[in-house]
Amino acid sequence: QQQVKQSPQSLIVQKGGISIINCAYENTAFDYFPWYQQFPGKGPALLIAIRPDVSEKKEGRFTISFNKSAKQFSLHIMDSQPGDSATYFCAARIYGQNFVFGPGTRLSVLP
């Protein structure tokens, strides 16, 4: 119940393409869903986050789509750039408790 599933494990996208990473959860008590971006040798950096009362949130080229009934959420990276190449983690949290992270997606954007 505390798991967050994430797919795909790895993703290769051409420059300018759309990168889509999907996550799913079971526990309906989760109330906060952040996405983290991690470059090699660095800590995870908060990219964008959403709460379940909103179906979509957009910040620049990054959009989270949230489907509460399906218990799924996804990250869309528009106009993907080589600099976006990193590992992306979705996460979920019950208020007052720790984050549960997905296993990560390694994104490679080809020039």
Partner 1 sequence: EPEVTQTPSHQVTQMGQEVILRCVPISNHLYFYWYRQILGQKVEFLVSFYNNEISEKSEIFDDQFSVERPDGSNFTLKIRSTKLEDSAMYFCASSVKAPNTEAFFGQGTRLTVV
* Residues at the site binding partner 1, with contacts judged by CB under 8 A: 32, 34, 36, 41-46, 49, 89, 91, 93, 95-104
CB of 101 to partner 1, least distance (A): 4
Euclidean distance between CA atoms 83 and 89, whole angstroms: 17
CB of 38 to partner 1, least distance (A): 8
Contact yes or no for 11/107 (Cβ under 8 A):
yes
If the CB atoms of residues 91 and 109 are measured against partner 1, the closer one turns out to be 91
If the CB atoms of residues 41 and 111 are measured against partner 1, the closer one turns out to be 41
Euclidean distance between CA atoms 50 and 59, whole angstroms: 11
Euclidean distance between CA atoms 38 and 85, whole angstroms: 9
CB of 23 to partner 1, least distance (A): 12
If the CB atoms of residues 9 and 69 are measured against partner 1, the closer one turns out to be 9
DSSP letters, 24-39, are EE--TT--BEEEEEE-
